[in-house]
Amino acid sequence: MTHALLDELSWRGLIHDSTDPAELREHLDGGRRRCYIGFDPTAPSLTIGNLLPITLLIRAARTGLGAVTLFGGGTGLIGDPSGKSAERTLLTVEDVRANVTRHREIMETIFGRALAAGQIPAFVDNGDWLGGLGMIEFLRDVGKHFPVTEMIRRDSVRRRLDDPDVGLTYTEFSYSLLQAYDYRRLCGDHGVTLQMGASDQWGNIVAGIDYVRRVLRTQVHGLTCPLLLRADGTKFGKSEKGAVWLTADRTSPYTLYQFLINLSDDEARRFALFFSLTDREPLERLFAEHAEAPGRRALQRHLAREMTALMHGQPAIDAAEAASAALFSGDVKAIGADLISDVFADVPTVTEPLARLTVDGGWPVVDLLLATGLASSRRDAREHLGNRAVLVNGDRVDAVATVTEKDLLHGSVILIRRGRREWRVARFT
């Protein structure tokens, strides 16, 4: 039998490094196997970059592997230096524990939507064994198996050692030993024989493979996927401006939906191959459909709906699409109070005193256009109004119109559009 996971990952371009491909395939075809991916709790949420290894676990579980999610309750107190140009800020024990709890909640939700009950990955925390590992035991049972000359050859270590302004602390240098020990414990305690992760983890994975083989005399394997990179080649990371998070408190469902809808055609294809859980044949049909009529953005819409549903559920899609339709039509009264800030997050906003709306007869729209920058002069404002080019809260207004407290949406906001695309938000306090 040819193992479906490798075929699936190969078609999607999701194999960056692996142990001997023929041996790995033979191993996976040889019986019920278990794999794992580790996640260090370095922030209260996870980014879209973390979603890629999460979907690797989903694909593994769907093709019959037993999947294990390892939370770094222990390693998270150290921080992986891989791919980092400077030392991480160390978190407190309390912060790490809180982050592990939050990560588990996120993954339980995603796995629950993507997998059948019997496929859900097991959850394990390396804090359970690393927290009680003594220094002497660590040096005798782990450290003696790692020649320093081999460790410093790794690119992630060498880059830091060669930078005189940064360097590498012993704490960071030891991280790969902790991850290797994780692999040993998961192999011995849970029967795990395949570690997966992003390509920047390859050095750590190889270290673990060697350690397990030496100590347990067991043949184990490794596989990595490419990193999720931006168009300019930089990594989607938590510290990058504009990071896309998996929880609504950091990236709203509407913002996520719009991010995916606005992907370029090349990016949309790459995201679909990396993230979509749609089977190969229907996804290939979608690629063909999109190629015939790219203006319809069928691929982006499919991706936005699928990924938003995976992270936030169907109601979030309905709300995002309703808000998008309202924005396009101009009927912004239909946008709920909780979505106003998200929908108009990038629109210039002014804050005005509520007293402007309570004067006798209200505040002239001519003055509102001047205050929001939609007109350069009263004459300019009257010209736009005379051309019926101005909408206030979705309604066309003329040169004699005013706004009052009755025009406030959700008690504090007025939305103004000039022409097809020029929007402004006026908040009143």
pLDDT above 70: percentage of residues in the chain: 95
What would the pLDDT profile of 264-320 be if each residue is shown by its tens digit?
Answer: 999 999 999 999 999 999 999 999 999 999 999 999 999 999 999 999 999 999 999
Number of other CB atoms surrounding residue 83 within 10 Å:
15
Rounded CA separation 35/208 (Å): 13
Determine contact, residues 34/194, Cβ cutoff 8 Å.
yes
pLDDT of 377 over the 50 cut = yes
pLDDT of 232 over the 70 cut = no
Q: What is the pTM of this model?
A: 0.88
Determine which of 31-35, 162-166, 387-391 has the lowest per-residue pLDDT on average.
Answer: 162-166
The predicted pLDDT at position 293 comes to 96
The predicted pLDDT at position 154 comes to 77
Rounded CA separation 141/144 (Å): 7
Determine contact, residues 141/211, Cβ cutoff 8 Å.
no
Query: Shortest CA distance to 413 belongs to which of 387, 392, 398?
Result: 392
pLDDT of 399 over the 60 cut = yes
Rounded CA separation 159/162 (Å): 5
Determine contact, residues 212/220, Cβ cutoff 8 Å.
yes
pLDDT of 150 over the 50 cut = yes
Query: Shortest CA distance to 175 belongs to which of 317, 303, 75?
Result: 75
Rounded CA separation 91/71 (Å): 15
Determine contact, residues 263/290, Cβ cutoff 8 Å.
no
The predicted pLDDT at position 86 comes to 60
pLDDT of 345 over the 90 cut = no
What would the pLDDT profile of 73-96 be if each residue is shown by its tens digit?
Answer: 999 998 877 766 566 678 999 999
What would the pLDDT profile of 152-176 be if each residue is shown by its tens digit?
Answer: 887 777 777 777 777 788 888 889 9
The residue to which tokens 């912004």 are assigned: 332
Average pLDDT over all residues of the chain = 92
Mind listing the domains of the chain with CATH numbers?
Answer: 3-225 (3.40.50.620), 253-329 (1.10.240.10), 349-428 (3.10.290.10)
pLDDT of 136 over the 90 cut = yes
Predicted confidence band of residue 329 (pLDDT cuts 50, 70, 90): confident
